[in-house]
């Protein structure tokens, strides 16, 4: 029984643990930035009535924390395929499970750091995970085991802005 389960098991392997650990440490240390800033800013900003700048920097820190959490939530996953189901842990913690036939497909792209990635989507067109080639070792084999098809390319936010600008220029 165990040998059949092992034959039916495909696990996504992390290639570079240094990147994973660095990203997790960066995310968790970013939680302290607003507190440290508030302590240091009291004498220089709040006591002098510079509330606008104080609020600006706090919002900047909070938005940075949001981006780091969102990015790591979709990109740092521990996944395995077993018994026609994809079981994955977002942020290496939050466990989810989806049947392979509920996966619509994947979109491939290149991020702003020139790393290739694959984003998995379900039939509600909701992103399940983003798998980067610089983080995961056996990504092509894992995609073959998923038995899903390429449904297009995915552009980053910066690439979408460039594409809209290009469309604006060429439409005139």
Q: For 51-82, what is each residue's pLDDT tens digit?
A: 888 888 889 989 999 988 888 887 888 888 88
Pairing of strands 116-122, 127-132: antiparallel
Residue 1: predicted pLDDT: 44
Residue 5: predicted pLDDT: 46
**Domain extents in the chain:** 11-80+103-161
What confidence category does residue 3 fall into, taking pLDDT thresholds of 50, 70 and 90? very low
Residue 131: predicted pLDDT: 87
pLDDT digits (tens, 9 = 90+) for 92-125: 778 888 888 888 889 988 887 788 888 999 889 8
Residue 8: predicted pLDDT: 67
Residue 172: predicted pLDDT: 65
- What value does the mean pLDDT take over residues 125-133? 87
Long-range contacts of 53-61 (CB under 8 A, 24+ apart): 58/34, 61/30, 61/33, 61/34, 61/37
Q: Are 31 and 68 in contact (CB under 8 A)?
A: no
Which residues sit opposite 129 in a β-bridge?
120
* Residue 41 DSSP label: H
């Amino acid at each position: 029984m165990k040998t059949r389960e092992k034959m039916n098991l495909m696990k996504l392997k992390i290639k570079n643990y240094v990147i994973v650990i660095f990203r997790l440490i960066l995310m968790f240390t970013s939680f302290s930035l607003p507190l440290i800033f508030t302590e240091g800013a009291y004498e220089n900003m709040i006591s002098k009535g510079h509330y606008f700048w104080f609020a600006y920097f706090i919002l900047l820190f909070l938005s940075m924390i949001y981006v780091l959490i969102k990015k790591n939530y979709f990109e740092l996953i521990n996944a395995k395929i077993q018994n026609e189901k994809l079981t994955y842990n977002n942020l290496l913690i939050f466990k989810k499970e989806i049947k392979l036939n509920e996966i619509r497909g994947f979109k491939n792209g290149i991020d702003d750091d020139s790393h290739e990635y694959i984003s998995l989507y379900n039939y509600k067109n909701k992103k399940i995970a983003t798998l980067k080639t610089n983080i995961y070792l056996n990504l092509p084999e894992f995609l073959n085991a998923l038995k899903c098809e390429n449904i297009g390319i995915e552009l980053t936010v910066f690439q979408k802005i460039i594409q809209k600008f290009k469309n604006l220029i060429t439409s005139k």
